[in-house]
Structure 1
Amino acid sequence: MSGEMIYPRGSGAYFEQLRALLPRGAAWICEAGTTLGKLLSGLAVELARIDARGIDLIEEADPRTAYELLPDWERVAGLPDTCTGAPETARERQAALHQKLTSTGGQTIAYFIDLAAKAGFLIEIDEHRPAVVGMACDAELYGEAWAFAWTVRVLPFNGTQQGELPVAVAEAGDPVGIPLRGWGALDLECLIGRARPAHTTVLFAYEVEPEPALWFDFTR
Structure 2
Amino acid sequence: LILIDEWEDALGLPECGLGGDDLAKRRLDAYAKDTAYGGLSQWYYVELATRAGFEVEIDEAYGHHCQSHCEAPLYHPKSGLAPVVYSAAPVERWATCNDSCLTPVRLFGDGRLECLLNTYKPAEGRFVFAYTEV
Q: Same fold (TM over 0.5)?
A: yes
Q: SS at the partner of 1:182?
A: strand
1:204 is displaced (CA, Å) by: 0.7
Query: Identity of aligned pairs, percent?
Result: 33
In the alignment, which residue of structure 2 is the partner of 1:202? 127
In the alignment, which residue of structure 2 is the partner of 1:42? none
Q: From the two aligned structures, give the one with the greater helix fraction.
A: 1
1:114 is displaced (CA, Å) by: 1.1
TM-score (norm 1): 0.48
1:190 is displaced (CA, Å) by: 1.1
Tell me: higher relative CO, structure 1 or 2? Use CA pairs within 8 A at least 6 residues apart: 2
The CA distance in 2 between the partners of 1:71 and 1:180, in whole Å, is 41
Unaligned runs of 5+ in 2: none
1:129 to 1:120, Cα distance in 2 relative to 1, 3 A:
same
Q: SS at the partner of 2:58?
A: strand
Say yes or no: does 1:166 pair with 2:100: no
Aligned length, in residue pairs: 128
Q: Looking at CA atoms only, which structure, 1 or 2, has the larger radius of gyration?
A: 1
1:78 is displaced (CA, Å) by: 1.4
2:12 corresponds, among 62, 78, 87, to: 78
Q: How does 1:1-220 map to 2 (within 5 A)?
A: 67-81=1-15, 83-131=16-64, 135-137=69-71, 139-142=72-75, 146-147=80-81, 149-154=82-87, 156=88, 165-169=89-93, 181-184=106-109, 186-208=111-133
Q: From the two aligned structures, give the one with the greater strand fraction.
A: 2
Deviations 1:43-71 (A, max 9, x none): xxxxxxxxxxxxxxxxxxxxxxxx02222
Write out the 4+ residue segments of structure 1 that deviate beyond 6 Å after TM superposition.
171-174
The CA distance in 2 between the partners of 1:178 and 1:118, in whole Å, is 31
1:179 to 1:100, Cα distance in 2 relative to 1, 3 A:
farther
Q: SS at the partner of 2:127?
A: strand
Unaligned runs of 5+ in 1: 1-66, 157-164, 210-220
TM-score (norm 2): 0.73
